[in-house]
Chain A
Amino acid sequence: QVHLVQSGTEMKKPGASVRVSCKASGYTFTGRYIHWVRQAPGQGLEWVGRIIPASGDTIYAQSLQGRVTMTSDTSISTGYMDLSRLTSDDSAIYYCATDGGHHDFDDWGQGTLVTVSS
């Protein structure tokens, strides 16, 4: 059974950076893609980007290009999302989700609340 456990709540000031982690278990880590999706308070879902842990290949949403970096550590089955130059518009719940090759988001982490405020 796939299980994704994310890091805890973050509070950051504008201009700072944040790292969110996503520890996977219950499957072969290199056998699935990891996506990151965010949801601002009271808003809809927004795709942030995807990493292929087996190769390190990444692709990001155009709106976040240059500020987002996704990495993974296969030795500990963990994916990371770094977001820099934070503004209040980046305040959201950030989810990691796996993609087993169906171009969808099969299993989701519990979400990590990131609040950006001065």
Chain B
Amino acid sequence: QSALTQPPSASGSPGQSVTISCTGTSSDVGPYNFVSWYQQHPGKAPKLIIYHVTKRPSGVPDRFSGSKSGNTASLTVSGLQAEDEADYYCSSFANSNTWVFGGGTKVTVL
């Protein structure tokens, strides 16, 4: 199970948008709409912010949105705020009933 590929870093000014890609394969992201995204602040446990590619759990601001095309999923954070500065991880259900994470992307709010 190889990790999904994410850019190591992304940044934007307050109010701007940032998009993070998550590239997998035909064994994980491609065939399944079970991509989820997690936000992790330093020293804290991850928090689910997107599931089933595009859905937001209750309480997650609509500034967070997800999409998928082929083997690549994306997370967009619109209207960046200072509290959005964190590490973001994608995850996908994969063949053989396993799960795989991306390497993580550090988002900096300039």
Contacts and interface: CB of A to CB of B under 8 A. Distances in A.
Question: How big is chain B's contact interface, by range?
Answer: 20 to 34
Interface in B30-75: 32, 34, 36, 38, 45-48, 51-52, 57
A106 B57 contact: yes
B103 interface: yes
A111 B45 contact: yes
B90 to A, nearest CB: 10
Residue of A45, A62, A106, A107 contacting most chain B CB atoms (<10 Å): A45
Contacts of B99: 35, 47, 50, 103
A44 B104 contact: yes
B47 A108 contact: yes
Interface of B: 1, 3, 32, 34, 36, 38, 45-48, 51-52, 57, 89, 91, 93, 96-104
Interface of A: 35, 37, 44-47, 50, 59, 61-63, 95, 97, 102-111
